[in-house]
Amino acid sequence: MIGRLHHVIVDCPDPAALAAFYSELLGLPVTWQEDDFAVVSASDTTSGIGFQLAPDFQPPRWPDPARPQQMHFDVMVDDVQAAEPRVLALGARRLPGGDSHSPVYADPAGHPFCLIPRPRWAPLIGPQAGPPIGIPQAGTPPLGTPQAGPSSPRADSPSRRPEP
């Protein structure tokens, strides 16, 4: 092994807003937030999804190959039909394509994602399953607010643009 995944970084026009969307969608907390960067992960010591400010961001146009998706998330759910109204209420919008088993949506910044049925091998996701692994239980102290510096999620990140 050469390395370990730290974060998947997603360009967007509003990192805090997109982190809040994915926090609700995935049931994971926002564990780091600055004006131009935010992270959603199981805890402040695990890898997750980073959202990076891109002032000139041009969202993908699904399924237009002139502005392709570049990446997308498959979000597994217990019941695709029951999840759709909840996803739309968060600010997602349904996109053309996909099918009833794996419909395609756009997050508030325009990135496509799919809802997919939970495979039999995966544990239940809904309220009967309990909180995701790594999420502090009620009564535990809240996560601290980390300070920018060498241990920040962005430190030495190849996705961070050089300062002007």
Quick: pLDDT tens for 85-136: 999 999 999 999 878 888 999 999 999 999 999 988 889 987 766 555 444 4
**Distance from C-alpha of 72 to C-alpha of 154, rounded to nearest angstrom:** 21
Which DSSP string corresponds to 15-55? Answer: HHHHHHHHHHHHT--EEEEETTEEEEESSTTS-EEEEEE-T
Could you give the count of Cα atoms lying within 13 Å of 78 in the half-sphere of its Cβ? 9
Q: What is the CATH number of domain 1-57?
A: 3.10.180.10
Closest CA to 104 of 74, 81, 126: 74
Rounded to 5°, the CA angle 49-51-55 comes to 160
| Mean pLDDT for all residues in the chain | 81
Q: Are 160 and 9 in contact (CB under 8 A)?
A: no
pLDDT digits (tens, 9 = 90+) for 35-55: 999 999 999 989 999 999 999
Confidence at residue 132, expressed as pLDDT on a 0 to 100 scale: 52
According to the model, what pLDDT value does residue 160 have? Answer: 39
Q: Is there a shared CATH topology between the 1-57 domain and the 62-131 domain?
A: yes
Superfamily of domain 62-131: 2,3-Dihydroxybiphenyl 1,2-Dioxygenase, domain 1 (3.10.180.10)
Parse the chain into domains and list their residue ranges. 1-57, 62-131
Q: How large is the average pLDDT for residues 1-12?
A: 86
pLDDT band at 6 (very low <50, low <70, confident <90, very high): confident
* Segment 81-87 mean pLDDT: 94
